Amino acid sequence: GELKFLCMEKAEFAVDIEKKECDGRIVYGERGMDEVRFLISANPGEPLKPLSKIASGGELSRIMLAIKTSLADADRIPTLIFDEIDTGISGRAAQAVADKLNVISRTHQVICITHLPQIASYADTHFCISKSSTDNSTSTSVKPLDSKERISEIARMLGGKKLTELTIKHAEEMLRMAHENKR
């Protein structure tokens, strides 16, 4: 169900758990006695195959979000961190991820590092993270954005370096629509 919500309507997902054996005896290793593989068929008619071998970046992002969503309540994890959950997605899938993160945020704290305006526009609090480097060092800064800075940052995510009146209006509309959808 989670995969369908995230624009993977035809996907099939399974978990394969096998005991590690050697000469008919169960073998215990540093990670226990089970070998666990996630299997997926992203498209109809394709057999289930190991996730690690066939999933694209966008599929991996959405599958990870679906797994974390499914386990969040069972594990009672108060904070979920998603680092670039938007890898390889855009458009409708990005909006679905934003919607899902919004749902999760009603019962968990969500920290999300993203490059997509669809996702960033749903944030309750928006920070801009930037890096600067010299020959000898790199530093990272984290700056909370006020409402005006937030519009500029969303516009930058939409249009790149140069902000135009149109990208600013688009950013304002995205933030307004996200606010409405969150209610």
> pTM score, two decimals?
0.73
Residues 6 or more apart in contact with residue 117 via CB below 8 angstroms: 154, 157, 158, 171, 174
Helix (H) or strand (E) holding 15: strand 12-19
Report the mean per-residue pLDDT for the chain: 88
Q: What pLDDT, on a 0 to 100 scale, did the predictor assign at position 164?
A: 94
Task: Find the range with the poorest average confidence among 57-61, 92-96, 118-122, 167-171.
Answer: 57-61
pLDDT of residue 146: 97
- The residue-averaged pLDDT of 6-29 equals 85
- pLDDT, residue 111, reads 92
What percentage of the chain carries pLDDT values higher than 70?
99
Please say if the pLDDT value at position 54 is more than 80: no
What's the pLDDT tens digit per position in 125-174?
Answer: 999 998 999 888 999 999 999 999 999 999 999 998 899 999 999 999 99
Cα separation, 87 vs 66, in Å, equals 14
